[in-house]
């Protein structure tokens, strides 16, 4: 067991170093270089120390919470792979275009919205309002928002949709929403391809900043898993939450600057966007892909914290209610 821990630990640390380096390199002008590098170095030291502790604990057979989590992950990895692969195989099984729909869907939505709104918004937008690359601007919002919408809807039905399994076999119940979120995330990553293509068509050149693409994706994923855990457990007890959620998401879409620019909102409304998690994720995505500017560090922090908060809430609700699921399925 030590070898896999070492292997994955090294991969995580390597990713961390990569992104920390990118952030330092590209975001240099936002904050003093040396102290920030120091902070990143400090975090790195903590990570390495934690990895060493895990390996020691594993060798000695100590009971650590994270080790139990890692063991569970290893034990159920095959099951998660099977569930995700099932989702993918059945998603477009009986349709003609199959997986192409993953690309066509957001493109068609964007196309319609572009045609309808570009006269009002996109055209004649002066440089600096951020709307000059309107097609890309739209698509970025659509792709990320739809990704999150899909995630939350699929995850919400993860428990009730697998009721026959939950009542007959023992599998840790969080596997169901987590594997659904994973399936949808893979799909969302695929939709990034048309986004990058459209951005280039719009006249933006590829840049080093595109390497930061995983960051907004990871942040949304964090948030989506928490939300998925939360919704899937609530749905078991209150079936009408799915309708409420649908309405809520519609409102949410209009409340987020997907179609319009934030400057179009009245002055007193604009600060309210800071309460909107999707605003952060979409802005970070647009900064990275379209505007080639480094996302505001506070944005990154706020987005991360919101994701962590949602994870905590979702996990707690799920953990406390999961023993009751079987009585209501």
Partner 1 sequence: MSEQADKNLNPSSATGATGREMIVVDHVGMKFKMTEDRVFSIKEFMMQAAKGKLTFNEFWALRDVSFTVEKGDVMGIIGRNGAGKSTILKIISGIVKPTQGSVTKHGEVVPMLELGSGFDYDLSGRENVFLNGAILGYTKEFLYAKYDEILAFSELGDFINMPIRNYSSGMLMRLAFSIATVVEPEILIVDEILSVGDEAFQRKSHARMMELMQGGTTVLFVSHNLDQIREMCNKVVWLEGGYVKMAGPSEEVCDAYNI
| Interaction site with partner 1 (CB under 8 A) | 78-79, 81-83, 86, 89-90, 93-94, 162, 164-171, 237-241, 244, 323, 326-328
Q: How far is the CB of 329 from partner 1 (least distance, A)?
A: 11
The 3-state secondary structure of 175-193, one letter per residue: HHHHHHHHHHHHHHHHHHH
Nearer to partner 1 among residue 109 and residue 321 (C-beta): 321
Nearer to partner 1 among residue 75 and residue 119 (C-beta): 75
CA 102 to chain centre: 17
Rg (CA), the chain: 21
Helix axis angle for 277-286 and 214-237, nearest 10°, is: 150
Token digits of residue 79 = 């099951």
Q: How far is the CB of 229 from partner 1 (least distance, A)?
A: 19
Output the CA angle 90-213-125, nearest 5 degrees: 105
CB atoms within 10 A of CB 314: 25
Cα separations (Å) of 205 from 40, 123, 210, 311? 30, 20, 10, 36
Q: How far is the CB of 160 from partner 1 (least distance, A)?
A: 11
Nearer to partner 1 among residue 34 and residue 327 (C-beta): 327
CA distance 231 to 211: 32
Q: How far is the CB of 165 from partner 1 (least distance, A)?
A: 5
Q: How far is the CB of 85 from partner 1 (least distance, A)?
A: 8
Nearer to partner 1 among residue 29 and residue 90 (C-beta): 90
Nearer to partner 1 among residue 90 and residue 266 (C-beta): 90
């Amino acid at each position: 067991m030590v070898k896999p821990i070492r292997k994955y630990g090294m991969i995580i640390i390597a990713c961390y170093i990569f992104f920390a380096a990118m952030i330092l390199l590209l975001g240099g002008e936002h904050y003093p270089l040396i102290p920030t590098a120091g902070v990143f170095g400090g975090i790195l030291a903590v990570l390495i120390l934690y990895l060493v502790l895990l390996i020691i604990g594993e060798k000695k057979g100590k009971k650590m919470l994270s080790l139990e989590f890692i063991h569970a992950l290893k034990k159920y990895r095959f099951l998660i792979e099977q569930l995700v692969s099932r989702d993918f195989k059945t998603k477009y099984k009986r349709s003609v275009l199959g997986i192409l729909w993953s690309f066509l869907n957001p493109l068609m939505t964007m196309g319609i919205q572009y045609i309808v709104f570009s006269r009002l918004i996109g055209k004649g937008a002066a440089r600096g309002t951020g709307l000059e690359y309107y097609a890309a601007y739209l698509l970025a919002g659509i792709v990320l928002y739809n990704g999150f919408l899909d995630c939350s809807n699929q995850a919400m039905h993860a428990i009730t949709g697998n009721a026959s399994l939950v009542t007959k076999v023992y599998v840790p119940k969080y596997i169901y929403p987590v594997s659904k979120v994973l399936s949808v995330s893979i799909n969302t990553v695929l939709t990034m391809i048309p986004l990058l293509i459209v951005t280039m068509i719009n006249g933006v050149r590829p840049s080093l900043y595109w390497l930061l693409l995983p960051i907004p994706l990871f942040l949304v994923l964090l948030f989506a898993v928490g939300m998925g855990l939360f919704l899937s457990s609530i749905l078991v007890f209150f079936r009408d939450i799915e309708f409420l959620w649908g309405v809520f998401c519609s409102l949410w879409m209009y409340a987020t600057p997907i179609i319009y620019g934030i400057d179009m909102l009245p002055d007193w409304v604009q600060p309210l966007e800071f309460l909107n998690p999707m605003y952060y994720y979409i802005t970070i995505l647009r900064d990275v892909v379209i505007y080639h500017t480094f996302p505001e560090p506070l944005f990154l922090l706020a987005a991360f914290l919101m994701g962590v908060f949602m994870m905590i809430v979702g996990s707690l609700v799920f953990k406390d209610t999961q023993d009751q699921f079987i009585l209501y399925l």
